[in-house]
Amino acid sequence: MAQGIPDEVMMNAALIKDLAEVAKDAALLHGVLLRIQESPNSSELVSFAPFALFPSPVPRSVFLQALAVQTHYNTLLDRVCQDGDFLQEALASTIAVDDFTARLFRIHQQILKEGKSQSITLGLNRSDYMLDQGENGTPSLKQIEINTFAAGLGGISSRMPEVHRHVLKVAGRLEESRRVLDNNPAAGLAGAIATAWELYGSDRAVVMFLVGETEVNIFDQRCVENELWKRNIHTMRRQFDDVSRSGRLDEDKRLFVDGREVAVVYFRNGYTPQNYTSEQTWEARLLMERSLAVKCPDISAHLAGTKKVQQELARPGVLERFFPGQPEAARQVRATFAGLYTLDMGPEGDKTVAMALAAPDRFVLKPQREGGGNNIYGSEIRRVLEGLKQSSERTAYILMDKIQPAPLQNYLLRRDGPLQLSSCLSELGVFGAYVRKGESMVLNQCVGHLLRTKSSEHQDGGFSAGVSVVDNPLLV
């Protein structure tokens, strides 16, 4: 069976030095780019985005499994978003102690009370996995989380195949270069946005990217924007402050920002408490949610992506609620679940606390936050839970089995970073896109993949947190 990059290449210091220079230039040539931290809002000085020198081996069977289950995850998310009773039941304990989730949920309740203005739903998500070795050493696909809000790196990952193909050709590994898969999630994500825009039905209306004040990773977003411009769909980039200043709804609840009608709001900002700097920011979010514009994600999808909902979906029998008469779909989704445990007050939550305190290295403690760098590991789990075990504050978290992947060897290329062989762990992301109008699912697709790799010395991952680098799977 074909394997990864052989040791005679990995251990050839002179070759590696040459390949690293070739690889960096290839990354710049193909648009694998970041703005630099010293000038995060200027594109006059840029660098290559951190990436792995070689594509990392991934078993073909689990890779295909991840792609195959994605349309079921799209369906699951869409059905969860439509089930207000489930969201309320699932998040009841969390919103009592987590102010950010509670504030989002109040917007959700207000929209339900008023009635949704728009029957078109657009979902762009990314389901993230690691390969757990288990007791017998056979890798199995286990979901870390599903991202329903600003699921990034679809643009940069679309540019990575050509980089690794070139590196492998220069290294004399033609056979491996042919095994680097085509991958273009930017086109797939943009295609779903375009479908929602077309259904909205106004040629004059634009797609508004709702962005942050600082956008180091702007080129990832530009890849999706450019795919929309290829379809003659106009885009604009605005911040919460712009919506606060100039946003308005007309009598039909059409959204106008700076005088332009907005067909789709694509949120790339707004998933952490730090994004909401004032009451005006929250009012701008509510204005957009109340509007006729298609929101990606809308407020229900934002809530559906919380860790607490992930944990509730893993309870026995819950998936069957969302896949009535579809036992095989429920089975395929459940097969990807890692162990997830509630910390709600009561005997079940007390059992979870005791289990975590007895063996903290077996678990990850997760708050309801996105963006990387938020999870709690090892002895820190014990410290946090010792302080919270008698308090309802513990319900702001869930507990999850720690996935145990097998380490691999690779070189992680960063601006001004050392060139050294590292023990690495990889995380596979799969992009999903769906569009529903009323009761009809118009589009439901798996639109691409992402591989991120990090040094195994790091517990938490995340590209935006500065830990992981972009990569490609080399199927074995």
Tell which residue, 253, 221, 216, 247, has the closest CA to residue 235: 221
Cα separation of 57 and 476, whole Å?
6
Asked if 214 contacts 40 with a C-beta cutoff of 8 angstroms, the reply is yes
pLDDT of residue 461: 66
Strands annotated E in 288-385: 294-296, 340-341, 363-367, 376-377
Q: Which residues contact 337 (CB under 8 A, 6 or more apart)?
A: 142, 143, 313, 314
The stretch 228-239 carries a mean pLDDT of 98
Could you read off the pLDDT of 319-338 as tens digits, one per residue?
999 999 999 999 999 999 99
The CA-CA-CA angle for residues 57, 62, 67, to 5°, reads 105
Q: For residue 465, is pLDDT > 90? A: no
Q: Which residues contact 120 (CB under 8 A, 6 or more apart)?
A: 196, 199, 200, 294, 435, 436, 437
Report CA torsion sign: 229, 231, 234, 237: negative
pLDDT of residue 373: 67
Helix axes 347-358, 378-388, angle to 10 degrees: 140
pLDDT of residue 337: 97
Cα separation of 346 and 430, whole Å?
36
Instruction: Identify the band that residue 1 occupies on the pLDDT scale cut at 50, 70 and 90.
Output: very low
The amino acid sitting at 210 is L
Strand 120-132 and strand 140-147: the pairing is antiparallel
Asked if 446 contacts 67 with a C-beta cutoff of 8 angstroms, the reply is yes
Q: For residue 209, is pLDDT > 90? A: yes
Q: For residue 58, is pLDDT > 90? A: yes
Asked if 408 contacts 4 with a C-beta cutoff of 8 angstroms, the reply is yes
Report CA torsion sign: 38, 43, 44, 50: positive
Asked if 310 contacts 281 with a C-beta cutoff of 8 angstroms, the reply is no
The model's pTM is 0.95
Asked if 431 contacts 449 with a C-beta cutoff of 8 angstroms, the reply is yes
Could you read off the pLDDT of 249-284 as tens digits, one per residue?
999 999 999 999 999 999 999 999 999 999 999 999
The mean pLDDT value of the chain amounts to 95
The amino acid sitting at 371 is G
Instruction: Identify the band that residue 372 occupies on the pLDDT scale cut at 50, 70 and 90.
Output: low
Domain ranges of the chain: 7-338+403-475, 340-402
Percent of the chain having pLDDT more than 70? 99
| 175-178 own/partner pairs: CB under 8 Å, 24+ apart | 175/2, 176/2, 176/5, 176/55, 176/474
Tell which residue, 124, 301, 277, has the closest CA to residue 212: 277
Could you read off the pLDDT of 275-324 as tens digits, one per residue?
999 999 999 999 999 999 999 999 999 999 999 999 999 999 999 999 99
Could you read off the pLDDT of 390-411 as tens digits, one per residue?
899 998 899 999 999 999 999 9
Tell which residue, 268, 152, 259, has the closest CA to residue 213: 268
Cα separation of 431 and 417, whole Å?
30
- 30 — phi, psi (to 5°)? -95, 5
Distances (CA, A) of 270 to 148, 335, 428: 12, 31, 24
The stretch 342-361 carries a mean pLDDT of 94
Instruction: Identify the band that residue 427 occupies on the pLDDT scale cut at 50, 70 and 90.
Output: very high
- Give the 3-state secondary structure of residue 238: strand
Q: Which two tokens mark 64?
A: 């295909």
User: Which element (helix H / strand E) includes 222?
Assistant: helix 218-230
Establish whether the linkage from the previous residue to 297 is cis, with ω within 30° of 0: yes
| Phi-psi region at 272: left, alpha or beta (left = phi > 0; alpha = psi -120 to 50) | beta
Q: For residue 46, is pLDDT > 80? A: yes
Cα separation of 247 and 380, whole Å?
44
pLDDT of residue 371: 63
> What secondary structure does DSSP assign to 120-138, as a single string?
EEEEEEEEEEEEE-TTTS-
Cα separation of 98 and 395, whole Å?
8
Query: Is the CATH number 3.40.50.970 carried by domain 340-402?
Result: no
- What Rg, from alpha-carbon coordinates, does the chain have? 22
Could you read off the pLDDT of 70-92 as tens digits, one per residue?
999 999 999 999 999 999 999 99
Q: Residue 427's beta-bridge partner residues?
A: 452
Q: Which residues contact 20 (CB under 8 A, 6 or more apart)?
A: 53, 411, 413, 419
Max Cα-Cα span within the chain: 69
Torsion, CA 190, CA 194, CA 195, CA 199, rounded to 10: 150
